[in-house]
Amino acid sequence: MSVDTLTIPTQCVPQSRISELDFNNIEFGKIFADHMLVADYKDGAWQNPEIKPYGNMSLSPATSALHYGQAIFEGMKAYKNADGDILLFRPLDNFKRLNISGDRMCIPELPEEIFMQGLEQLLRLDAAWVPPTAGCALYIRPFIFATDEFIGVRPSSSYRFMVFSCPVGAYYGQPLRVAIEPNYVRSAEGGAGYAKAAGNYGAALYPARKMQERGYHQLIWTDSREHKYIEESGTMNVMFVIDDRIVTPAVSTTILSGITRDSVLQIARDKGIPVEERKVAVSEIVEAHKAGKLQEAFGTGTAATIAQIATIHYNGEDMDLPAIEGREISNGIAAELDRIKTGQAPDPHSWIYKISL
Ligand code: COI
């Protein structure tokens, strides 16, 4: 199968639901575009990709993903340029990461042509759902889950791959108050923290809720051995600006290799901003704040893009960071990233996959 030869059978909706959407008031993740892509893995091969109306599906109560969490996902975004073309941001990187997560979770490799041709056909069909509005995008959710009807614990022999999408605005409505987590862990060495596995997110809900009850939007995860080193923030990678340098934890087996993270660091390097990817100790952040050198902090992720951090809590104290408006480094990178994604700036790293309508 190649992208040129594979044409995915398509069943279109009789009538679009797009009139339900208020493009000036889009809430994250609540209204889904008209169509979805479905392909199944059985008898040792991915097969029968099809596009059909977005809708419920029927599953056996014994579906193994529901019990043991053999499930992975991706998040990616599409934008519109001034000519009305759809611009997908780094889809091949999402495709590669999906299979990296799949490898860790014993999920068979998905062929590139099903992913890319599926996306291309799906987006052509649902082009009207890609918001033209500044600050908005079509969020695309590819995912795979185990479908064996079997409650013994073993890798499933059948899987379903699906993609649906939803128009989105900002993920976080305001700058974040985050707290450094001294007890719970998101992932440990040898675990699956680098994979975008559903269970990583489910297990994070309880510690996040406890922090929310204390008045913080999210937490900053620390390492599982000593809680001394910073890992991620909520569902995002995290970056700090100290002394005009971007400092961020290096990716490892415990940290998700974020595509927005990589894009932000690349733009920083292109702009000549020094970048340090290494272990970042909590004490370094506290000391930098005390010395007035902690200029900026922000999370990076597909959903949030760049989420500014206003306050970091640690050990009983709130560290308030400088005002968001003055954050030249992250605001400058965010604006440049946005221009690249929407076709308003050159794309020197070939991140954009254009679908001309
Ligand atoms: C993303 O940024 O796409 C994420 O994975 C966060 C999310 C779970 C909404």
From the list 55, 63, 270, the residue with the least C-alpha distance to 146 is 63
Write the single-letter amino acid at 145.
F
pLDDT at 325: 96
CA 75 to ligand 1: nearest atom = 3
Ligand 1 nearest atom to the CA of residue 28, by list position: 9
| Helices within 145-303 (DSSP H only) | 198-213, 259-270, 282-290
Is it the case that residue 1 has pLDDT exceeding 60?
no
* Binding site membership of 235 for ligand 1 (Cβ less than 6 Å): yes
Q: What integer is the mean pLDDT of 61-85?
A: 97
Q: Is the CB of 302 under 6 A from ligand 1?
A: yes
In CATH, the number for domain 18-169 is 3.30.470.10
Report d(CA 76, CA 94) in Å as an integer. Answer: 7
Q: Could you tell me the pLDDT band of residue 4, with boundaries at 50, 70 and 90?
A: low
| Domain range list for the chain | 18-169, 176-341
pLDDT of the residue at 2: 45
Do 176-341 and 18-169 fall under one CATH topology? no
Average pLDDT over residues 51-80: 98
**% of the chain beyond a pLDDT of 70:** 99
pLDDT at 63 exceeding the cut of 70: yes
Question: Can you tell me the mean pLDDT for 60-76?
Answer: 98
One-letter amino acid identity for 81?
Answer: N
Q: How confident is the model at residue 51 (pLDDT cuts 50, 70, 90)?
A: very high
In ligand 1, which atom is closest to the CA atom of 304? 2
Domain 176-341: give its CATH code.
3.20.10.10
Q: What is the mean pLDDT of residues 188-205?
A: 97
Please name the residue whose Cα sits nearest to atom 5 of ligand 1.
75
Strand-pair partners of 71: 145
- Contact present, 202 and 69 (Cβ < 8 Å): yes
Mutational pocket test of ligand 1: of 76, 97, 232, 235, the residue with most ligand atoms within 8 Å of the beta carbon: 235
Per-residue pLDDT at 5: 60
Q: Is the CB of 303 under 6 A from ligand 1?
A: yes
Q: State pTM to two decimals.
A: 0.96
Ligand 1 atom nearest residue 171's Cα: 9
In the numeric block, the tokens 């297990």 are attached to: 203
